[in-house]
A and B are shown apart, each in its own frame.
Chain A
Amino acid sequence: MRPIFVVIKHEIVTVLSKRSFWLTTFLLPIFIIVLSFGSQWMAERLFADAGDQELLAETPPDEGHALIGYVDEAGIIVALPPYVSQTLLQQYTDAAAAHTALESGIVERYYIIPAAYLQTGQVFLVEQQYSPLSRFTGVDIMQVLLDYNLSQLATTPALLIDPLPQVISEAVFPATPGEHDSPKDESAAFLVTYATLMIYYIVLSMSSGFMLHSVSKEKENRVAEVLLLSLRPRELMLGKLIGLGAVALLQMGVWLGGSLLALDQGKQVFEIARMIVLPPGFLAWGMFYLLFGYLLYASLLGAIGALAPTARESSQFTFFALMPLMVPLFLMTPFMEAPNGSIAVGLSLFPLTAPVAMMTRMAAATTIPAWQPAVGLVLLALTAYGFVLLSARFFRADTLVSDTSLTWRRLLAEIRGK
């Protein structure tokens, strides 16, 4: 029993004494938050400002704002909406005059409404700062003017522009009384789901990566040969599995604890933090799923490490082995939109995708049937057990000291036990 403890201690000390481990533990979350949320926040703000939203605001922009020209060959624009300032627009009789005004900087852009507008719907815009995508995604002042003028002949012009100005929504059967009966705030739900998905994906792939790294390093520098003199291969594997598992738990603890602490502190400052509600038992389920998910993937990558002669040669097998973890990452939209849909349920019960998928679903859904996390966990635990046994078969003195390269054929033969 003692050699196992020595291995456990060694693994924990080795990983914890690495500067890169602490850098990843503390800097990676900051990095991800800044890059993904920071850029998204900036983009959202820019998209909100994109187009002519500010020109239509109640307080008109400064006097200094450049004019917007238009040539109305169809004769549609006869009146301006009350919320559009007269000083913003300048009509021109033909395109040449408008273009001259553009080139001399009097107008920043001009529109041409062709005579056949009512039939074709075509409107042309010529602008100094060409940025078509922001025009297409934002509010366009000319569309507002055209809609306003065209709908003036109706008895209820405002309703034509916005047919549903006020909708009172009501859930007839709120999911569960109490905590979840109000619909969750969408951005808060997104935040929790995204964070859960990323944390599980990163912790599982990193911790199992430690296992691979640790095995192949000792194989490469031949320390394994020395080690095998004083302990059995399976003791080595078990020691590594437990030691690195403890490291994974620590990392998870830092991230989860950090997130919860930030959430708690954030409640006073950010409204969004108050809207975040985690389902009951989320943490307990989370720990079990992490534990068995880790056992499954660490034994899988440990087995690859034991068979491949160098870390580099194992990389293509590692990619395939970790692929199931990435599936929920690719299919994030269905998880957000329909956490109880067949795809999300299927993936959260399938053992290889379950650790990431089930926790993401639990974070995204208002409620999920109680049997599903339980069945998912049992299936995951059984599979993890099977993988640990399988991996133990690959941890043999002959594989650990051999330099035979790893091919798909050899892998299949090893699995079949030949």
Chain B
Amino acid sequence: MRNLWLVARHEYRKIAGKKSFLISTIGIPILICLVMGITIVVTLTAMDRRPVGYVDSSGILQLDAQQLLADEQPRLLLVPYPDGTSARAALESGEIQAYYVLPTDYLEAPVAHLYYADKAPSQLARQRFAYFMRANLVQQLPEAYQERVLHGSQLTVRSSDGAREASSDNIVDFAVPFVAVIFFFIAVLSAGGYMFQAVADEKENRTMEVLMTSLTANELIGGKSLGLIAVVLTQLFLWILTLTLAIIIGAQFVPELQAVRVPWALLAVTAVYFLPAYVLIASLMTTVGAAAPETEQGQQISGLLNLLFTFPMFFLAIIFANPNHPFIVLLSIFPTTSFTTILFRWSFTVIPLWQLALSWTLLVITALAGIWLAARVFRLGMLQYGQALSLKGIVATLRAR
């Protein structure tokens, strides 16, 4: 037992004690925020912000567009022109990016014309003009109705048991668990990477030979796993701390962030899935680390293994669109993808209990099988030191009693 703790402590210190651990732990969230921030800024600045003109012969557009759109962000103005000639001149001189023309009989035959230089106006420009049109058209209605028709409704969706609720004006509620899940996921994957490295390194530099004289294989693998779990928890703790601080500070400036609640249910389900998911990835990585003769070759295989776990990331759009799609349900039951899929689906639907029970049971069984496999292959790897383990050899050992 003492040896187990010794290995765990050594492993923890070796990774968490390094300056690079702290830098990468703090650096990853900063880098992600930076890239996202730059992308948003660049996308906004690259947008064509020149005004859109309009020529209204129908007399519908009576409101002052400038006043109506004064508070809309991002800013994009609409400018009236008395006739097509002056609008065209403004387009030719580059003052405006496009202009609409409404004919005199627009109310009877609603066909508008849109003229632009060489590039069709942006989505924002089209939306702004449609909004302006609607704001003018709602003037036909009684005052009590105008605001509703112009701005529509705010839908609040509840689950039938009343336990879950989401509102269209509070998307932040979706975003926070989502961001948390991504970080959690990075942590577990990097732990898998560390595990692989820990086994492969000691094998390559022959420390393993010395270690095996005073430790059993189980103590070594168990100790490494424990140490690495501590590393992951440290990493998660630092990230949650950063995220909480960011939300507390951000809430001073962005009022939407004040509505963020702690997703307790999501945290509970994460806690339940964390251990078996971690054990599964760590045992698979140990197997690869023990079987591959060279670190480099093992890295290629571990890259492929990572893919088994990252697979649901490619289907995020489907999880958003239809979280109960049969394919997504399949991903939530399959052991390597269940952890991520369940966590992603959590915010967007109520997952039936049978799916949770089935996926968790399968995950636990696979994780236990993973440990068994890792221990066997590790022992075989020790016996055939320095040689590449063939798949055939591994299968033969697994079959042997």
Q: How far is the CA of A136 from the CA of B296 in the complex (A)?
A: 47
Residues facing B in A358-376 (CB within 8 A) are: 366
Measured CB to CB, the closest approach of chain A to B93, in angstroms, equals 12
Indicate with 1 or 0, residue by residue over A104-140, a CB within 8 angstroms of chain B CB atoms.
0000000000000110111111111111111111001
Number of interface residues of B (CB under 8 A): 72
Determine whether the beta carbon of A165 is less than 8 Å from that of B314: no
Q: Which residues of A contact B144 (CB under 8 A)?
A: 118
B81 within 8 A of A: no
Residue in chain B with minimal CB distance to A315: B299
Determine whether the beta carbon of A43 is less than 8 Å from that of B137: no
Measured CB to CB, the closest approach of chain A to B186, in angstroms, equals 16
Q: Which residues of A contact B112 (CB under 8 A)?
A: 164, 166-168
A382 within 8 A of B: no
Q: Which residues of A contact B30 (CB under 8 A)?
A: none
Q: Which residues of B contact A99 (CB under 8 A)?
A: 160
Determine whether the beta carbon of A102 is less than 8 Å from that of B111: no
Of B3-11, B145-153, B269-277, B376-384, which binds chain A? Answer: B145-153
Q: How far is the CA of A230 from the CA of B107 in the complex (A)?
A: 87
Q: Which residues of B contact A133 (CB under 8 A)?
A: 166, 174, 320-321, 323, 348
Of B44-52, B68-76, B280-288, B359-367, which binds chain A? Answer: B44-52
Determine whether the beta carbon of A366 is less than 8 Å from that of B137: no
Determine whether the beta carbon of A147 is less than 8 Å from that of B149: yes
A172 within 8 A of B: yes
Q: Which residues of A contact B158 (CB under 8 A)?
A: 124-127, 130
Q: Which residues of B contact A151 (CB under 8 A)?
A: 141, 149
Determine whether the beta carbon of A168 is less than 8 Å from that of B113: yes
Determine whether the beta carbon of B145 is less than 8 Å from that of A150: yes
Q: Which residues of A contact B160 (CB under 8 A)?
A: 99, 102-103, 126-128, 130
Q: Which residues of B contact A166 (CB under 8 A)?
A: 110-112
Measured CB to CB, the closest approach of chain A to B379, in angstroms, equals 26
Q: Which residues of A contact B323 (CB under 8 A)?
A: 131, 133-134
Residues facing A in B32-77 (CB within 8 A) are: 35, 38-39, 42-43, 45-48
A153 within 8 A of B: yes
Determine whether the beta carbon of A123 is less than 8 Å from that of B142: no
Which of A20, A146, A331 is close to B42, meaning CB atoms less than 8 Å apart? A331
Q: How far is the CA of A50 from the CA of B323 in the complex (A)?
A: 11
Determine whether the beta carbon of B130 is less than 8 Å from that of A121: no
Determine whether the beta carbon of A46 is less than 8 Å from that of B153: no
Determine whether the beta carbon of A155 is less than 8 Å from that of B153: no
Residue in chain A with minimal CB distance to B297: A20
Of A271-279, A297-305, A336-344, which binds chain B? Answer: A336-344
Residues on A facing B (Cβ under 8 Å): 20, 35-36, 39-40, 42-43, 46-47, 50, 99, 102-103, 117-118, 120-137, 140, 142-143, 146-147, 150-151, 153-156, 159-160, 163-175, 183, 311-312, 330-331, 333-334, 337-338, 341-344, 366
* 10 A–B pairs (Cβ distance < 8 Å), ordered by A: A20-B300, A35-B314, A46-B325, A122-B153, A126-B157, A127-B157, A129-B349, A130-B160, A142-B155, A166-B110
The 6 closest A-B pairs by CB, nearest first: A43-B317, A163-B133, A132-B166, A334-B46, A46-B321, A130-B159
A164-B130, A330-B38, A331-B39 provided; 9 other pairs, C-beta below 8 A? A132-B157, A150-B149, A153-B145, A166-B110, A167-B113, A168-B113, A171-B117, A172-B92, A333-B43
Residues on B facing A (Cβ under 8 Å): 35, 38-39, 42-43, 45-48, 88, 91-92, 100, 107, 110-120, 122, 129-130, 133-134, 137-138, 140-142, 144-145, 147-149, 151-160, 162, 164, 166, 168, 174, 295-296, 300, 314-315, 317-318, 320-325, 327, 348-350
